[in-house]
Amino acid sequence: MARIAVIGGTGYAGSHIVAEGVQRGHDVVSVARKSAAERVHGATYVEATLLDVPSLVAELEGADVIVVAVSPRGDMTEAYVPSVLELADALTGSPTRLGVVGGAGGSLVARGGPRLFDAGFPEEYKAEAQTAIDILEALRRSPESLDWFLVHPAESFGVWNPGERTGTYRDGGDVLVRDADGVSFISGADLGVAFIDEIENPKHRRERFTVGY
């Protein structure tokens, strides 16, 4: 059993990671700035913020994995990148692994090809996608003593297209996962499956990977 802390654990991606972790018997802490209206039975809920990393790290001492599932919106738009990197610095040299929910924009459209971000990506989502790309590039430059992984969900991932839990997905490595019809999708629940799979059986130490059907 692992002790897993999910920052942004009441959001769309985070709540699914929390639910999957609890379902598999892990000790899961959901971290958010406000009390959760709906709670996953068996999870612990903590009110804390990524905007105060020292206090957050103290609160989560002893966690085996800390997952950042915060959306870089609102007052987190400018603070997201420096806050995540401050957390990464705090975890460097520690036994705690860092996981990050990235966006689809950083995925490659084909092996050796451009990123989705550079291939007709919607302009209105570019600023948010850029933050995840900035985090990935910074993590790649981080010291070897920081154990991290970043997951790119499929292109059609979000609360507007929730889907169902199948318990299956494909790992595309660096490349965006699409089905035979060219559709790139994964449900919120199966993103949770992918995260907990990686936590239970690490295959992507200090690297990113894509997931979809």
Summarised one tens digit per residue, pLDDT across range 86-134 is 999 999 999 999 999 999 999 999 999 899 999 989 999 999 999 999 9
From residue 211, give the alpha-carbon distance in Å to each of 96, 124, 192, 205.
23, 23, 11, 16
Residue 96: predicted pLDDT = 98
The predicted-structure confidence for 69-91, as pLDDT tens digits, reads as follows 999 988 888 999 999 999 999 99
Residue spans of the domains in the chain: they are 3-212
Is the model's pLDDT at 202 over the cut of 90? yes
Percent of the chain with pLDDT over 70: 100
Task: Domain 3-212: give its CATH superfamily.
Answer: NAD(P)-binding Rossmann-like Domain (3.40.50.720)
Cα separation, 86 vs 66, in Å, equals: 13
150-170: per-residue pLDDT in tens?
999 999 999 999 999 999 999
Backbone angles phi, psi at 130, to 5 degrees: -65, -35
Amino acid present at 179: D
Q: Is the pLDDT of residue 38 over 90?
A: no
Helix (H) or strand (E) holding 100: strand 97-101
20-29, 31-40, 177-186, 188-197: least confident range: 31-40
- What are the phi and psi torsion angles at 175 (to 5°)? -105, 135
pTM: 0.96
> In this structure, are strands 3-7 and 65-68 parallel, antiparallel, or unpaired?
parallel
